[in-house]
Amino acid sequence: MAELAPWLEDSDGRPAFRIARCRSCGRRHGPARSACPWCGHSGIDPEVRSTGTVLAATTTLLPVPAGEGPFHRVVLVELDPDVVVAGRFEGGDELQVGAVVGIDAIPLGADEAAVLVHRFVPAGGGGAGA
């Protein structure tokens, strides 16, 4: 079984984004790093986010990794006011700015070397968990 990518972790049987909160300035960032990108402090507390809000979305013919084409949807998702990430989106045509989305995990790479990376899905729905 492929493992979760290092920026994800299992949260109650579902993949979630690993983010972090700085013990000095209190701001969050993600994917989690060893030091706060806002103030440089090395003391950070790990947190996870399993849902977010869509800020923007695009559809492309370009070969997005782990995509099954020919069209791919990529969304910009706010996990926290300070944490905005991008990822593929799969599921339904009703995607709108402001929609709440969840996360599932899909394999990226050849069978033996594949890792499970994030993909956004409608909140409460989607594919297999981690």
- For residues 29 and 10, give the distance between their C-alpha atoms in angstroms, rounded to a whole number: 19
Task: Show the site string, 43-82: x = touches other proteins by CB under 8 A, - = not.
Answer: ------------xxxxxxxxxxxxx----x-x-x------
Query: What is the size of the binding site for other proteins (CB under 8 A)?
Result: 36
Q: How far is CA 120 from the centre of its chain?
A: 7
Q: Which stretch binds other proteins (CB under 8 A): 28-36, 41-49, 121-129?
A: 28-36
Q: What share of the chain is helix, strand, coil (3-state, %, to 5)?
A: 0, 50, 50
User: Closer CB to other proteins, residue 1 or residue 61?
Assistant: 61
Q: Judge contact between 19 and 52, C-beta under 8 A.
A: no
Task: Show the site string, 84-123: x = touches other proteins by CB under 8 A, - = not.
Answer: xxxxx--------x----------xx-----x-xx-----
- For residues 55 and 48, give the distance between their C-alpha atoms in angstroms, rounded to a whole number: 19
Tell me how crowded residue 22 is: count the other CB atoms within 10 A of its CB.
Answer: 21
List interacting residues with other proteins (CB under 8 A): 5-7, 29-31, 33, 37-38, 55-67, 72, 74, 76, 84-88, 97, 108-109, 115, 117-118
